[in-house]
Chains A and B, each alone.
Chain A
């Protein structure tokens, strides 16, 4: 039986990108005979995002209040779990993620090789044209070394929001998902809980519009938060 795959697309004020993202997924489905469903989580956008979603008949859930990225993505996992999807893929609505990567990050899960798969910008150098600032790259490296210290596993792209999970992880995420800075924290937690985490190289584009959820002046605060949370997980005991 064919596995049901859904793309969870969190969107906060993405009026300039969301339609294009959705259309590129539809087009990909038509061309490649894939059957990726989509659920856009409109995180209380104050621009025309909601109007665009309704007018174009894009499957979506509009949160009645802004919850932030963590709360929005978790809503998607709840929806995916509820609707019996086998695999849920977190996919950015801003055009950064390339739809062709979905096949790559779902493959290890389809084959039963991994429970949780991260689409990575930093392995095998396939993203020569993806420019990220030196400080951001360094931040990602520092987080990476902390994760290695806590879990013993090297994860390269610690902040990648392009991830695929199976039903077991979907259940975990539906029950518990960090409100802030979810990516590195959930990765560490999954590793600590003994889930099989895999990282595969994917193509990523530069943002096509809108602003990233990680604003530059918040970077230090972000790092302190993430690193402390990861360190605390070193002390915590996990079953399994």
Chain B
């Protein structure tokens, strides 16, 4: 096991612990926690198998493992960003509905009040 694997294991474990902590303290629901857990477990998986990173880099055609790491992190961030966009969009829709319903209700109450 070389330094890179150790570093990656530390990074992955930190991520997993932080996400679990947030989930446990109910700061993050499970479905959002999974968005982070999935890539973290992937990193851990590669880090735990010695030389797997070199093999994968070779297989996919990356010149160095550091390039592979950059690539993986990029894809991971991409994945997280897209899921965040989806979450924000669905929340926008819900907020719009809330504003509409509250405004309709409010106008109803005002009508009654004025009569």
Interface of A is mostly: mixed
* Contacting pair B106 A65 (CB below 8 A): no
Report if A64 contacts B (CB, 8 A).
Answer: yes
Interface size class of B (residues with CB under 8 A): under 10
Cβ contacts under 8 Å, A126 to chain B:
none
Cβ contacts under 8 Å, B96 to chain A:
67, 71, 74, 179
Q: How many residues on chain A are close to B (CB under 8 Å)?
A: 14
Interface of B is mostly: helix
Cβ contacts under 8 Å, A62 to chain B:
103, 106-107
* Contacting pair A67 B107 (CB below 8 A): no
Taking beta carbons and an 8 Å cutoff, which residues of B are in contact with A? 92, 96, 99-100, 102-104, 106-107
* Number of residue pairs spanning A and B whose beta carbons lie under 8 angstroms apart: 33
Q: Report the separation of the CA atoms of residues A234 and B88 in the bound assembly, to the nearest whole angstrom.
A: 26
* Contacting pair B100 A67 (CB below 8 A): yes
Taking beta carbons and an 8 Å cutoff, which residues of A are in contact with B? 60-65, 67, 71, 74-75, 78-79, 82, 179
* Contacting pair A64 B106 (CB below 8 A): yes
Q: Shortest distance in angstroms between B103's beta carbon and chain A's nearest beta carbon?
A: 5
* Contacting pair A61 B103 (CB below 8 A): yes
Q: Shortest distance in angstroms between A83's beta carbon and chain B's nearest beta carbon?
A: 10
* Contacting pair B92 A60 (CB below 8 A): no
Q: For the complex of A and B, list the 4 residue pairs with the smallest distance between their C-beta atoms, beginning with the closest.
A: A61-B107, A75-B100, A63-B103, A71-B96
